[in-house]
């Protein structure tokens, strides 16, 4: 298993200007109601968990058509999820966004700002990608 490296300062600076991050900060929701509106409802969940050597283009393209991509990305950043595609972002992109999300206080209160950038290297409170049955939580309907 390859350990993710810490994002470099220029990557974090770029993440802070990323329109997807700004949209996530604006559209974040306190509940999971956004999930049932996801454009990926009828798509194979494996599409959103490509292998590291595979392109994530198909998933990212679908996310870009999705009305709830801001809320989706906010959720992924709140839980520190760095697997799979969420809100039109790849895990690598989200690692840099996560530093900005936590250090800049963009989260509405679900994340603990004391965790800082170190938190993204900790084990994630989420199923492994191959075990994740449904990236939009259709089961929660
Ligand atoms: S992963 Fe998120 S942004 Fe992408 S289609 Fe599903 S709900 Fe929308």
Tokens representing residue 15 in the block: 């993440």
Measured from the CB, is residue 76 less than 6 Å from ligand 1? no
Gap from CA of 135 to ligand 1 centroid (Å): 8
Domain that holds residue 19: 9-140
Please report the DSSP string for 38-86 in residue order.
-TTTTS-GGGGS--TTS--HHHHHHHTT-TTHHHHHHHHHHHT--SS-B
Measured from the CB, is residue 120 less than 6 Å from ligand 1? no
Q: Which atom of ligand 1 is nearest to the CA of 66?
A: 8
Asked if residue 4 is part of any domain, the answer here is no
The number of folded domains in the chain is 1
Asked if residue 49 is part of any domain, the answer here is yes
Asked if residue 115 is part of any domain, the answer here is yes
Dihedral angle computed from the Cα positions of residues 52, 44, 82 and 32, in that order, rounded to the nearest 10 degrees? 170
What residues in the chain have per-residue pLDDT under 70? Answer: 1-3, 109-141
Asked if residue 118 is part of any domain, the answer here is yes
Give the residues across from 86 on adjacent strands: 89
């Amino acid at each position: 298993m390859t350990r993710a490296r810490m994002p470099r300062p220029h990557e974090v600076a770029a993440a802070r200007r990323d329109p997807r991050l700004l949209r996530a900060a604006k559209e974040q929701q306190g509940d999971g109601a956004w999930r049932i509106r996801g454009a990926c409802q009828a798509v194979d969940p494996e599409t959103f968990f490509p292998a590291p050597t595979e392109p994530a283009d198909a998933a990212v393209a679908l996310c870009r058509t999705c009305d709830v991509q801001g809320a989706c990305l906010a959720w992924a950043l709140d839980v520190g999820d760095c697997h799979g595609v969420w809100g039109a972002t790849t895990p690598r992109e989200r690692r840099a966004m996560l530093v900005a999300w936590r250090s800049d206080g963009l989260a509405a209160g679900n994340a603990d700002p004391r965790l800082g950038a170190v938190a993204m290297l900790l084990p994630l409170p989420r199923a492994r990608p191959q075990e994740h049955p449904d990236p939009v939580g259709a089961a929660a309907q």
